[in-house]
Amino acid sequence: MLRIRLRRVGAKKQPLYRIVIAENEWPRDGRFLEIIGRYNPRTNPETVEVNEERAYHYLKNGAQPTDSVAQMLKKLGTLGRFERLQKGEAAEVVLAEAQAAAAATKTASSGRTRPDTFVPSKKAKKQPKKR
């Protein structure tokens, strides 16, 4: 069964995620069919970008989102728009609305990564040697 899930990329303690389509049995960071978006939890607010046209395609063909991806898609409004698409609303109208929502969230986010202020550690301060 196909799943829409997160694939971790990024350095140690600096997570970034790609939203991918993968088989249920494949490893988390292993093989996948297609990248349909990305998620950055380190920005304030969190950044989520999804190619909704491809997401609709895979949802229509039976792909199931994981719980974390389903929460993200619900928060973005993608799942609500997909339900409207299933009920018979025009695909062009739904995709135009999705693009407008994506543009609005892109301009609203600051894009700064956490933490907002740099606090040097106490070990970093060097005391002059006494002679």
Q: In which residue are the tokens 């069919």 written?
A: 33
pLDDT tens figures, 106-126:
666 555 555 555 556 666 666
Q: Cα separations (Å) of 18 from 7, 36, 96, 98, 123? A: 5, 8, 23, 19, 36
Q: CATH classification of 2-95, choosing from 1.10.1740.10, 3.40.1160.10, 3.50.50.60, 3.30.1320.10?
A: 3.30.1320.10
Where are the chain's structural domains? 2-95
| Tokens at 100, concatenated | 């407008």
Q: What is the pTM of this model?
A: 0.74
pLDDT tens figures, 57-71:
999 999 999 999 999
Per the DSSP assignment, residues forming a β-bridge with 49 are 38
**In this predicted model, which residue has the larger pLDDT, 29 or 38?**
38
| Tokens at 61, concatenated | 């063909």
